[in-house]
Structure 1
Amino acid sequence: MNSAATPLAPTPLTLGRHGRPQHTLRNRLVSSPMERNYGTTDGRMTEQYADYLVTRARAGLAMVTTEATYVRADGKGRTHQLGLHTDAVIPGFRELTGEIHAAGALAAVEINHGGRTAQSAVSGLPPVAPAAVPCEVAGGEMPRPLTTQECYELVEAYGHAARRAVDAGFDAISIHGGHGYLVHQFMSARTNGRHDEFGAPEHFANLVIRAVRAAAPEALVGIRVSVLEGVPGGLSPEQTLDVVSRLELDALDFLDLSAGSYEAGEWIVQSGEWKPGVLADYARAYRRFGIPLGMAGRLNSPEAVEAQLVDGVCDFVSLGRAVHADPAFVRGVLEGARYRPCIACNVCIDNLGLGQVTCTVNPAVGRSRVPVATPRVRGSVPHLVVLGAGPAGLTAARELAEVGGRVTLLDAGERIGGQFALAASMRPTPDFHRYLDWNRAELARLGVEVRFGSRRDPANLAALARELGADGIVVATGGTRPEHGFRVTGEAAHDGVLDVRDWLAARPRLFSGSAASEDCWPESLTIWGADAVAMSVADTLATHGTSVLIVGPEQVIAPESGRRAKILAVPRLEADPDVRIVLDSRIVEAEAAGTPAGRVRVVGPDGEQWLEAPGPVLVSRGVVPLSAAVDREGREAALGLTAGVPVVLAGTLVDQLPPTASNAIKSGYDAAQRLAAALAPEPGRTTAPAPALEGALA
């Protein structure tokens, strides 16, 4: 075992086996092939995507890998996925690899075919696969089984893609053999079922390895595999090891280990509930093959990265979300530098089906080619006031302080974060506290004054501006909470009907993990609303034995959240016998709320019914939109005239966005840009002299 005094992450690693040309990684940090939807609709590299990848090369990664890049048009899985299916894409890739090399990193490409996961609505072509087994998660279209000859033709397509990769200047080619894509489909009996030579799980993969090696004799060639498929009837860890043992490993220079399949997406992109280095126990078994190993899986801190390397689990790490959230994570690992932490919310992966992949904690990612820097405030230091220390207000305060403002942050509560701080104590989102910890450190570093217990009326901004000598104001206080909307009858306890946020805030020790013996989890309660807050609270309470009734008008639980964000919590709730879920329904009356005899009258598609509901009724119904929601620009102009200083509004409601932390942070970032632009002393100046890529490397 390596001495802890000599970290392994910064040390070089040379790859290249059996007399083939060698390539040296400058350290042990490699970017994983994370899809982003930044390409063109015909698979070409864009300036935005190149800037994104080159930024991470400049941050210090040893090897930068493109996303899964389709080898043939019928294997395309995303609307803006990169392709190596035609020579027309080579010039754009060649420019990319040149820039990556100039930054001191190696350039890698992952080649792939979607097989049953590809859908004609995206590719324009019927999907093909080893067998007629549809992928419901991807869309459910029935693929046409490949003939034996067509299998060989697809192998040739991998070889042609590898040749194009070499022509484009890539140093390494990784064959995607996991996550339920075509090569993986041939490996698994669940999706193969063939009776020709391609029924052997290793046969197609070995032909692909040969074709890629022949087309790229001097490049590094590896394969990414899922250490388990993660679904009933799929490949177990032992079965996967057996298949890999039959691959032509001597032709490979590395293995890159991941996990999961489309039907087991929680293994591909893991929840924050899972431990860092979650694949380490599986990876150790691959040491028997004597081939350099890379590994992904919840490597979200410098400590987690170094632990896997020092323990000899792998030779290099594949970093996805950590460097997506902030390229400076690389320097955090190598030098102990500060970085913006990934919180494993999985908004990035959930955005794949919607458009460009963004990031909750880094609002500059995935929103333009080169994110426009917030204008630098010049001359005398302006005093800027931010009302509200939720995600939007925190973001605005930090951004304005970064560009030279003297910032005062006011909040009526006793801590930063607002509702986000409550979410940080819930079971499905344990990493959320990392974002708050980072914000505290950033506010201190930037000298932001934070005043708690400060209740200020956003309607009286002129007095606030005079009192504090403000030169500009950001209002990030959100909306007002709605009435619960049902009748309360019978004898009710004092806290029989409460807003869920008030109920949580009144129990800080219980939800912070510091509960004393006299702090008790409730025996039962009802949640009126089925949004993401309700899901998280119900899941957390049910874990501690609370019986929960959820009643909501929503058609599904947490409709504002993506599939990966609730991939563990929702199945747990649905399987828990002590959790009752009544959707597409509304509470019209609560009788004896907060008492053991409590019950609620519910109206839904099946008519009206009374349900036993002992314990309090917690209301989780969002907030009422601000009056500015329909005309933000006009409202900001009117407030500015009244206050005598520029005023901007921040928050999901004023930007007409779903009420998520990701949207709130983006709104705060945009509000800071608008206020800074309004204070820019030079006429017409809207950008800083030197834009900072993603605000991450400054």
Structure 2
Amino acid sequence: MMTELFTAMNIAGCTVPNRLVVPAMVTNTCTKDGIVTDRFIKYIEEKAKGGWGLIITEDYAVNVNAKGYEMIPGLYNDEQLEGNKRLTETIHKYESKLFCQIYHPGRQSSKLVNGNVIPLAPSAIKDPICQEQPKEMTAEEIKSIVKDFGDTARRCKEAGFDGIEIHAAHGYLISEFLSPFTNKRVDEYGGCFDNRVRFLDEILEAVRKEAGKDFPVIVRISGNEYLLGGRTEAESFELARHCEEIGFDAIHVSNSMYASAPIDQIIAPMYTKHALNMEVSEQIKKLVNVPVIVTNRINDPKMADTLLKMGKADFIGMGRGSLADPYLPEKAKAGKFDSIHYCIGCLQGCEEKLLTGDSLTCLINPRVAREYENTMEKVEKGKKVMIIGAGPGGLTAAYTAAKRGHAVTIFEKKNDLGGQFKSAAYPLGKGELATFVSSMRKALMALNVPIHLNTEVTEELIQNEKPDAIIIATGATPFMPNIKGIESDKIVTAEEVLLGNYDVKAGPVVVCGGGEVGGETAHFLSQTVRDITVVEMQKDILNDMMIMTKICLTGYLHESGVKVLTEATVNEINEEGVVYTNTAGERLTLPAEMVISAFGYKSYNPLEACARKNCSEVYVIGGAVKAGSALHATRDGYEAGLTV
């Protein structure tokens, strides 16, 4: 039973209907001029429909050159007011409250997205991620940006926002002044604590002057930067007390900056422990009398309610959880926990896409940031839709088509749902992937979608079913290269090993292929096998992984003693082991009792011709088109489900 999550609480006179907060997350869906788009509004509206108590917008730029991403919003001129008035009017149709986060990225930016202007910083120290040499700010530039914050705050109030969040976390400009890691100044803005907080003090004063003393203004801070020479909890406790003393109405506790290690990052990967900021938040809550928000790696409403009951915070931020399922609060309130589509921490859509300049998306919820395209209205006349394959793409296609009113049936030749996504949950640290398949199963049951397992589709079956449309989601199969000995009894696929179909009792074991599957399988086996070698023909391993998770897994492989051999081309598998050629052209042999095939995958699509022969409307999606990630499979499934 949840006792705390759905109680109201005030932030400076603003009554928030429940304790669930959507923290700021970049979507990259506005115009280059910082104008709010219908796409942006619909994205936020979906969360308001879902019942989130407080929604905090993504970071708004305070001037034309204060952007960390090219397509983020701003309120630095009056032309930007109209769209934001439409945004606040839209959200105020619901119970949710809407705060506008305002920021300057500081050194965590680039000329490429920032009007070809050199990033500013308290000290000229390059960020290791953005790799742009910043300019040390002059006193005049500091005063100018303080004024920008005040002017932006005035427009926030004029636009109808319920409050403002000043972003003083995550290594952005205010955070850079606060931290001795990035602030090496010797003037009145550097050195001791009182000097390093001066920039924040002046910004709040300017914001209060323009927005009024009674307008809710909260602050976001990093409780621990997890950096040698960065701010730790000890000074963050001092900072929290200071923030209350100068007049902030709530404190939002997060962590880190771009320079922090991936496991401690702002946007936590799946390997990061849940609720990593809860202890810092609890201590801050004991020190101050204003509400405290805690965020990062919290995706379960029962966990959120427990954290509240334990006194860890007053509000719980669930950014990525709100992407995976905008309706999480509504479902939790109704007790439908097994219907929630939980965030799995993969970062493939919400982070990796942004790093390449694209807009945000989500593996679990490919509709996110695309809500403006349609309303998911029911079709006038439903079709009989046959889904072949129950991997991520097929499940998403079935869910989308059924939601729109089609009569959908799934056929899967295996004895369970999920396709390769089932085995993908077996590697260490990836157990949460199973929640996607589980929640999809529940959702399809609620939509009365029949699922036929252990059923291989044949032409006869298609003829008997007489579908109006067929979606082929047969996925991909392991690629087995044409090398001598590939049919040896000592070779098994990574998927078979992960699923426990083979008992790997002793080494040496050689994993052929150093992509994500090979690396994760080697790490998984390292629990019980001490002699494991990964062989990869490229110069590096894990090249198909999102960079944050790649760095984490690389470290885990090293810690577990897994040996890695790169620039090695496998030529043969024999009784002795794996024969490979190195860069010098030498043929060498790695001893192996068992060889695991992780060479990659190839598309598997044996039914398209048969389907087209018997049905006029056929769609081929995901791995059946080209072997790739689940992100692409669910996107294809969503689009096919909309198109039928």
> When the two structures are superposed, what TM-score results if normalisation uses the length of structure 2?
0.92
1:349 maps to which residue?
351
Aligned residue type for 2:209: A
The answer on whether the counterparts of 2:476 and 2:623 sit within 8 Å (CA) in structure 1 is no
* Equivalent residue, structure 2, for 1:53: 44
1:577, CA displacement in angstroms?
6.4
Quickly say closer, same or farther: Cα 1:54–1:448, change in 2 above 3 A.
closer
Report Cα offsets for 1:585-621 as digits up to 9, x if no partner: 42122342xxxx53432333x5435253433222223
Answer with 447-456 or 112-121: which moved more: 447-456
2:291 maps to which residue?
292
- Code of the residue aligned with 1:214 in structure 2: it is K
Code of the aligned partner of 1:193 = K
In structure 1, distance between residues paired with 2:9 and 2:371 = 34
The alignment partner of 2:372 has SS state of: coil
Q: Structure 1 160/611 Cα, relative in aligned 2: closer, same or farther at 3 Å?
A: farther
Does 2:339 align with 1:361? no
Over the aligned positions, Cα root-mean-square deviation in angstroms equals 2.5
- Separation in 1 of the partners of 2:529 and 2:257? 32
1:375, distance to aligned residue in structure 2 (A): 6.0
Identity, % of aligned pairs? 27
Q: Indicate which of 537, 552, 555 corresponds to 1:571.
A: 555
CA shift in 2, pair 1:100/1:372, >3 Å: closer
- Opposite residue 331 of structure 2, the aligned amino acid is G
Partner of 1:263, secondary structure, is coil
User: Equivalent residue for 1:532?
Assistant: 516
Is the Cα–Cα contact under 8 Å of residues 281 and 293 in structure 2 kept in the other structure? no
CA contact (8 A) 2:42 2:371 kept: no
Superposed counterparts of 1:36-75, under 5 Å: 36-75=27-66
Superposed CA deviations along residues 132-162 of structure 1, whole A, max 9, x for unmatched, are 1111212x11101112232222222211211
Q: Which amino acid in the other structure matches residue 183 of structure 1? A: I
Shift of 1:117: 0.6
Once the two structures are superposed, the pairs formed by residues 572-611 of structure 1 within 5 Å of their partners are 572-573=556-557, 575-576=558-559, 578-592=561-575, 597-604=576-583, 606-608=584-586, 610=588
Q: Which residue number in structure 2 is paired with residue 376 of structure 1?
A: 379
Please say if residues 230 and 236 of structure 1, whose CA atoms lie closer than 8 Å, have aligned partners that are also in contact. Answer: yes
Within 5 Å, give how 1:359-508 maps onto structure 2: 359-367=362-370, 369-371=372-374, 373=376, 376=379, 378=381, 383-456=384-457, 461=459, 463-488=460-485, 495-507=489-501
Separation in 2 of the partners of 1:522 and 1:215? Answer: 70
Q: Which residue of 2 aligns with 1:251?
A: 247
Partner of 1:689: none
Work out the CA distance in 2 between the residues paired with 1:112 and 1:424. Answer: 38
CA distance in 1, matches of 2:505, 2:38: 53
1:362 is aligned with what amino acid?
N
1:333 Cα deviation from its structure 2 partner:
3.0
> SS of the counterpart of 1:194?
coil
Q: Identify if the C-alpha distance between structure 1 residues 65 and 465 changes in structure 2 by more than 3 Å, giving closer, same or farther.
A: same
1:141-220 alignment to 2 at 5 Å?
Answer: 141-199=132-190, 200-217=195-212, 218-220=214-216
Residues 640, 423 of structure 1: alpha-carbon distance in 2 compared, 3 angstrom cutoff: closer
Whether the aligned pair in 2 keeps the contact of 1:29 and 1:319 (CA below 8 Å) is: yes
Superposition map of 1:232-311 within 5 A: 232-247=228-243, 249-264=245-260, 265-266=262-263, 267-287=265-285, 288-311=287-310
Task: Name the CA distance, whole Å, in 1 between partners of 2:517 and 2:199.
Answer: 46
Deviations 1:15-46 (A, max 9, x none): 21xxxxx2111111221001111111121110
Go from structure 1 to structure 2 and tell me whether the alpha carbon gap of 1:417 and 1:194 turns closer, same or farther (over 3 Å shift): same
Structure 2 counterpart SS, 1:198: coil
Structure 2: unaligned runs, 5 residues or longer = none
Residue identity in the other structure for 1:137: I
Q: 1:542, CA displacement in angstroms?
A: 2.8
CA positional deviation for 1:434: 0.6
The CA deviation at 1:372 is: 5.7
Alpha-carbon distance change, 522 to 273 in structure 1, aligned in 2, over 3 angstroms: farther
Q: CA deviation at 1:522?
A: 4.2
Q: Counterpart in 1 of 2:635? A: 666
CA distance in 2, matches of 1:560, 1:371: 32
- The one of 68, 91, 95 equivalent to 1:77 is 68
Question: What is the distance in 2 between the residues matched to 1:135 and 1:100?
Answer: 36
Q: CA deviation at 1:114?
A: 0.9
Letter matched to residue 271 of structure 1: P
- 2:80 equivalent among 72, 76, 89: 89
Q: By how many angstroms is 1:256 displaced?
A: 0.4
What's the offset of the Cα at 1:197? 0.9
Q: What CA deviation, in whole Å up to 9, does each residue of 1:499-554 have, x standing for no partner?
A: 2223333438xxxxxxxxxx665444222222221222222223455433222234
CA distance in 2, matches of 1:577, 1:405: 49
Match of 1:619 in 2: 597
Paired residue secondary structure (1:624)? strand
Rounded to whole Å, the distance in 2 between the matches of 1:277 and 1:302 is 12
**SS of the residue aligned with 1:294?**
strand
| Structure 1 ranges of 4+ moved more than 4 A | 519-522, 638-641
Is the CA contact (8 Å cut-off) linking 2:39 and 2:370 kept in structure 1? Answer: no
Of residues 614-623 and 639-648 in structure 1, the stretch that sits farther from structure 2 once superposed is: 639-648
| SS, match of residue 55 in structure 2 | strand
Counterpart residue type for residue 497 of structure 1: I
Q: CA deviation at 1:653?
A: 4.9
CA 430–552 in structure 1, closer or farther in 2 if over 3 Å, else same: same
Superimposed CA distance per residue, residues 27-72 of structure 1 (whole angstroms, 9 cap, x where no aligned partner) = 1122100111111112111000001112211222222211011212
Task: Say if 1:201 and 1:243, in contact at 8 Å, map to a contact too.
Answer: no
C-alpha separation in 2, matches of 1:89 and 1:555? 48
Displacement of 1:251 after TM fit?
Answer: 0.9
Find the aligned partners of 1:523 and 1:133 in 2 and give their Cα distance.
48
User: Contact 1:28–1:317 (CA<8 Å) still a contact in 2?
Assistant: yes
Alpha-carbon distance between aligned partners in 1 of 2:418 and 2:371, rounded to the nearest angstrom: 27
Out of 222, 228, 231, the residue aligned to residue 224 of structure 2 is 228
Measured after TM superposition, the shift of residue 583 of structure 1 is: 3.2
How many equivalent pairs are there?
Answer: 631
Q: State the Cα distance separating 1:96 from its structure 2 match.
A: 0.7
Q: What letter corresponds to residue 186 of structure 1 in structure 2?
A: F
Q: Would you say 1:129 and 2:146 are equivalent positions? A: no
Is contact 1:464-1:470 (8 Å) kept?
no
CA distance in 1, matches of 2:430, 2:103: 32
CA distance in 2 between counterparts of 1:583 and 1:215 reads 59
Unaligned regions of 5+ residues in structure 1, if any?
17-21, 509-518, 629-634, 677-698
Quick check: 1:527–1:620 contact (8 Å CA) kept in 2?
yes
Residue in structure 2 matched with residue 120 of structure 1 by the alignment = 111
Query: For residue 552 of structure 1, what is the aligned residue in structure 2?
Result: 536
Show the counterpart of 1:29. 20
Distance 1:653 1:142, change over 3 A: farther
**How far apart are residue 312 of structure 1 and its match?**
1.6
Measured against aligned partners, the alpha-carbon deviations of 1:435-493 in whole angstroms (never above 9, x if no partner) come to 11112212322333323222335xxx4x232233434322111245432343339xx9x
Report the secondary structure of 1:664's partner residue.
helix
1:91 partner SS: helix
Q: Structure 1: which amino acid aligns with 2:613?
A: T
Partner SS for 2:464: helix
